Amino acid sequence: MSSPRVLVLRAAGVNCEVETVHAWELAGASAQVVHINALRENPRQLLDYQILTIPGGFSYGDDVSAGKILANQMEVFLGDQLRAFAERDCLILGICNGFQVLCKTSLLHGGNGSDDLPAATITANVSGKYEDRWVRLRRASENCIFLQRAAVYELPVAHGEGRVMACSDQKMNRLAELGCVAMQYTSRNGASVAYPDNPNGSMMDVAGLCDPSGRIFGLMPHPERFIHETQHPEWTSRDTAQADGRAIFESAVAHFV
């Protein structure tokens, strides 16, 4: 099969689309930025792509709540087309603000709040401030297609609202049972995770969620910011030369090879 085609969605306030396109192209995909208005005018162009990516930034200034306005546009104007896209053997990736968008749609982990697939949301960091740091993460589910190339990752986070929450511990445990808790914050020494290893106070140290199929994935860290080995602050002394973020994009591309 030829290289998978990736639609990188753009809207006012999104600011990571260029880096995201570069990451996909390094991984072997063909990526194109498409504005939400252009997609609304011609939703059928989704049929030309195998991967949809919602990149990071501050869509519409996060004026209502993080990702809410873009999520509403997707649900109201593109809901049927997006659900049809998700039902095909296609992939959807939401990064940081894109993860916030996914959590406010019905695409990810049953965002309609059904008993079978509890809904989660993302709210303000417990620290009450913007967190910009490198974190260590572990793969928590074998389901996620984006996390097949490694079990441990180091990636940067940069967000003010990154705390993943469900309405109860029982609901979050249910997501874990279904394989929807895809990625968790961890520490280098394996000790219990606390701030700043968990930079936002997420329940169950959740850094990323996927749907039960593993084809729809949202995460707070920015994989597109670690696609070259030298981008890591400790690149000269790391045990591995792997660019952990690039591995996430490569894993997705491999799904279509």
DSSP element (H, E) containing 23: helix 17-26
Coil vs helix vs strand at 62: helix
Q: Which residues contact 112 (CB under 8 A, 6 or more apart)?
A: 106, 119
52: Cα separation from own chain's centroid: 11
Catalytic residue among 96, 103, 144, 210: 96
Catalytic residue among 17, 154, 161, 224: 224
Q: How far apart, in whole angstroms, are the C-alpha atoms of residue 105 and residue 35?
A: 18
Catalytic residue among 90, 222, 232, 250: 222
Per the CB < 8 A criterion, the answer to whether 214 and 141 are in contact is yes
Q: What is the 3-state secondary structure (H, E, C) of 166-228?
A: ECCHHHHHHHHHCCCEEEEEECCCCCCCCCCCCCCCCHHHEEEEECCCCCEEEECCCHHHCCC
Decide if 131 is catalytic: no
Closest CA to 181 of 149, 152, 215, 217: 217
Q: Quick one: 234 exposed, middle or buried, by C-beta within 10 A (0-12, 13-18, 19+)?
A: exposed
Decide if 222 is catalytic: yes
Decide if 159 is catalytic: no
- Catalytic residue set: 96, 222, 224
